[in-house]
Structure 1
Amino acid sequence: MTDPLVSAFASDEDMVADQSVRPKRLAELIGQHRVREQLDLLLQSALRRGSPPDHILLSGPPGLGKTTMAMIVAAELGAGLRMTSGPAIERAGDLAAVLTSLSLGDVLFIDEIHRIARPAEELLYSAMEDFRVDVVVGKGPGATAIPLDVEPFTLVGATTRSGLLTGPMRDRFGFVGQLDFYDPDELELIIARSARILDVPITDEGAVEIGRRSRGTPRIANRLLRRVRDYAEVRGNGVVDLAAARAALRVYDVDELGLDRLDRAVLLALLRQGGGPVGLSTLAVAVGEQPDTVEEVCEPFLLRSGLMARTPRGRIATAGAWQHLGIPGPAGTVGGGNPAGGLSSTPGLFDL
């Protein structure tokens, strides 16, 4: 049985490590070249004018650096940063309290902004456009709206589900940045940088192996680096090399394409239904997870890797999924060929 104190300590250690490897400036940011250039123009222009930049919306799958970019925006502007999340703002009054406490030029970061409560969202409209909020006091016919001024600020919203944002909310952002998955070469540079910061001895081959199994996501790359470091310290010579990376990732159920046990369970559930189509809810029940988890955590990478496809009738497995899991597929499966740029898979590599 795991000691809860040990688990809490490990979690805190990972959190500290995550904070330490985050880039602090745009110049330190690796990858996302288009968004980085656009942000640089936006921020430099605002600094020259001496006024806060337009509100910024960052969208993309989890782990690509939306929170890091919000921190960088505040650092580049030399402004204060306030952080909250959409689910934490349940009432308009909660948001009003945050907005009225902002200082001139502050950056307000709202993570998962698509989950903000509707009354709070409507209050945010006037704050974003006119830097004013109307707080309603009382109920019924005697209710009174008290206008309160808000210091000019920059809102940075982050979302993993941009399609769930309302039109009025999206239209109020002056800049929208779509973050893409990272290339293995970029992840290799991120891993090498993180290894230097965390003082982890690593070889080029070890960084390449971890990078290509990181699902195009820096958060996963940094997490795998720490787990391979643990393996190398306990069962190896302390150096994260190719052999240590392969052995450690086998222990942690990360296969050649970067799929973990849940990803493979999703694919296997599809294959057990003849490759689909299978509805999202049915798929989630089959793997014992919430539909949101399957849709937001597993699907983006499975779709990008060509292992899964969406159709109007549901999710289907492609020929690449059958091949990757080492199961003979029926004739006429979608998307033949090796997935993810020709990486081959080993049938029976993991117990499913």
Structure 2
Amino acid sequence: MDDRESTTSSIKQAVDTRGYRQVFRTIVVIFISAILLTGCYLFIPIGVVWMATKVPSSFEWLAAVVSIPSIWFLPGFTAIALVTAMELVAGQDDEDIERGWIFGIIGGSTILTAVWFLPLWGAAFPNVSETVQVLRAPAMFDDTWLMALSWVVSVPVMTYADLAAHTESDTNSDSSKSKQKEQSSSTNHTNQSTGSADRIGQDGPRITDEKTHDSDLQDLMYRWEDAPETRFADIGGMESLKTKIERSVLRPLTRINEAYERFKVSPPNGILLYGPPGTGKTLFARAVAGELGHPYLELSAGDIKSRWINESTEQVNRLFNEAQQFDRCVIFIDEIDALLAGRGNDLHREHAQVVNEFLAHLDDDDPNFLVIAATNRADLLDEAATRRGRFDQQYEIGLPDNDAREAIFRVRLRELPTALDERDYHELAHRSEELSSADIVGIVDDAAMHAAERDAEAITLDDLHESFPNTSIR
């Protein structure tokens, strides 16, 4: 595929509607979790104090002994349960909920302090104090010294303990993730390879996932990588395709539960991405692997095929044997038509064996891998490759539409000095009809070269016009 493809398909990251929705979701999640946890750190201590006032006078000393540690620890334990429940509903660990927890600790403690010291400021704000008065229990005391003493032994300790515990938990989590990543990326194998030097070789890193450790892995010939950092939010446009992949691929693979098992819904073994060169098939495959969070291997058909008899078949077997060493993994194969071309009567026997061997692995009943294949010519594939259970899910990735083309220009020119206005961007999008994202990146790169050659202060519309393919200028 085009060398520029891997850098061109994140074309609407800054202006993509999906990005805005993600920001909105983040704000909403933080706000809701902060409100719920603020209530936790406000009402639980007040409830403890209120219950202490209901204890008979002969047991007041016992109520005081029990209530103080209850104020220290009960809000924290309740907050942990509440955060866990919210994360279960969200279906994953959510950092936004954790951020809301911090705001809840601070907000709840602040409001609790205001309620505690109501007699000191109530006269200055009678309307507010009348509203807040219903929260204040008699055991909070009206005497200034007792009021301050009871607050000191209750609220600061509670606040400090929960903030410290939360910070330590985050530090341990980050440290664990960092250590796992370090171990995963630092272990190199030294195995010789007859495949492509670009993707197979001695410098290929060993990768681990949740259930696979470095000590469990045999020597790896192929260059497996950690799960890519690319996500769907990094890809401009393609909203309909993202929705289809989310429904038919990601959900069955990440949310396997009784409902899917009840209706015998199985995750796909392979999906096929097809379309013109430069439209983002490679980056989309990386985004799927990133969304799944699985180890990732990127190959072309040439990395597997060999000129030596039987060696291609052996490399196919080696590929899937290495895949079995992971709990889950994603394999991306570009130019799959060169590997799985249709088998005719005049086809070389060696190629027929490679096709048969590859499809046999793809037929696994319960595979731990997802194979994503890409091609510019889906019509060249062997018919057996697209039957049910193999590459039966096929998705076209076409040329960018007008809005996407405009976004490409904006993103590519964002960090460069330009002399363009809104109308210029609209014109560029219109003139680049039928061009791929890679073509547009090439136009911007050439325009930057023109501007540099004439020692200009900024890229102009004329620079961009000169860089268009002649057939694209209207």
Normalised by the shorter chain, which TM-score bucket?
0.5 to 0.7
Residues 1:100 and 2:302 aligned together:
no
CA contact (8 A) 2:241 2:395 kept: yes
State the Cα RMSD in Å: 2.7
Distance 1:18 1:110 in 2: 15
Match of 2:355 in 1: 121
Residues 1:190 and 2:408 aligned together:
yes
Distance 2:8 2:298 in 1: 19
For the structure 1 residues 225 and 121, does the alpha-carbon distance in structure 2 shift closer, same or farther, using more than 3 Å as the test?
same
Of 439, 448, 451, the residue aligned with 1:232 is 451
Per-residue deviation, 1:111? 0.6
Q: Secondary structure at the match of 1:49?
A: coil
Match of 2:17 in 1: none
Which runs of structure 2 are paired with 1:165-180 in the superposition (5 Å)?
165-171=381-387, 172-180=390-398
CA contact (8 A) 2:270 2:372 kept: yes
Q: Secondary structure at the match of 2:255?
A: helix
Distance 2:466 2:299 in 1: 39
CA contact (8 A) 1:58 1:156 kept: yes
CA contact (8 A) 1:107 1:154 kept: yes
* Identical columns (%): 24
CA contact (8 A) 1:210 1:225 kept: no
Residues 1:32 and 2:253 aligned together:
no
Match of 1:109 in 2: 332
Residues 1:62 and 2:277 aligned together:
yes
Q: Secondary structure at the match of 2:417?
A: coil
Q: Secondary structure at the match of 1:118?
A: helix
Give 2:396's aligned amino acid: Q
Per-residue deviation, 1:92? 0.9
Q: Secondary structure at the match of 2:413?
A: helix
Which runs of structure 2 are paired with 1:1-352 in the superposition (5 Å)?
19=6, 22-23=9-10, 24-41=230-247, 42-49=249-256, 53-90=268-305, 91-102=312-323, 103-116=326-339, 117-130=351-364, 152-171=368-387, 172-196=390-414, 199-202=415-418, 203=420, 204-211=422-429, 212-213=431-432, 215-235=434-454, 237-249=456-468, 254-255=469-470, 257=472, 343=474
Which structure has the bigger radius of gyration?
A: 2
Q: Secondary structure at the match of 1:82?
A: strand
Distance 2:239 2:435 in 1: 15
Distance 2:425 2:5 in 1: 17
Per-residue deviation, 1:231? 1.4
Distance 1:111 1:92 in 2: 18
Distance 2:426 2:452 in 1: 19
Deviations 1:172-211 (A, max 9, x none): 1242101222223211102212333xx2234345544554
For the structure 1 residues 81 and 88, does the alpha-carbon distance in structure 2 shift closer, same or farther, using more than 3 Å as the test?
same
Give 1:31's aligned amino acid: G
Distance 1:238 1:49 in 2: 56
For the structure 1 residues 65 and 43, does the alpha-carbon distance in structure 2 shift closer, same or farther, using more than 3 Å as the test?
same
Structure having the higher helix fraction is 2
CA contact (8 A) 1:52 1:153 kept: no
For the structure 1 residues 255 and 107, does the alpha-carbon distance in structure 2 shift closer, same or farther, using more than 3 Å as the test?
same
CA contact (8 A) 2:405 2:437 kept: yes
The answer to which of 42-51 and 121-130 deviates more is 42-51
Give 2:358's aligned amino acid: L
Match of 2:20 in 1: none
Q: Secondary structure at the match of 1:101?
A: helix
CA contact (8 A) 1:64 1:217 kept: yes
Give 1:49's aligned amino acid: I
Distance 1:205 1:234 in 2: 26
Per-residue deviation, 1:225? 1.1
The answer to which of 234-243 and 56-65 deviates more is 234-243
Q: Secondary structure at the match of 1:215?
A: coil
Give 1:47's aligned amino acid: T
Per-residue deviation, 1:214? 6.3
Structure having the higher strand fraction is 1
Distance 1:216 1:247 in 2: 15
The TM-score with structure 2 as length reference comes to 0.43
The answer to which of 232-241 and 108-117 deviates more is 232-241
Give 1:101's aligned amino acid: E
CA contact (8 A) 2:6 2:280 kept: no
The TM-score with structure 1 as length reference comes to 0.56
How many residues are matched?
221
Give 1:124's aligned amino acid: F
Per-residue deviation, 1:25? 1.5
Distance 2:471 2:403 in 1: 16
Structure 2 unpaired stretches of 5+ = 11-229, 258-265, 306-311, 340-350
CA contact (8 A) 1:53 1:154 kept: yes
Give 1:201's aligned amino acid: P
Per-residue deviation, 1:162? 0.7
Which structure's relative contact order is higher, taking Cα pairs within 8 Å and 6+ residues apart?
2
CA contact (8 A) 1:184 1:216 kept: no
Distance 1:246 1:190 in 2: 16
CA contact (8 A) 2:337 2:378 kept: yes
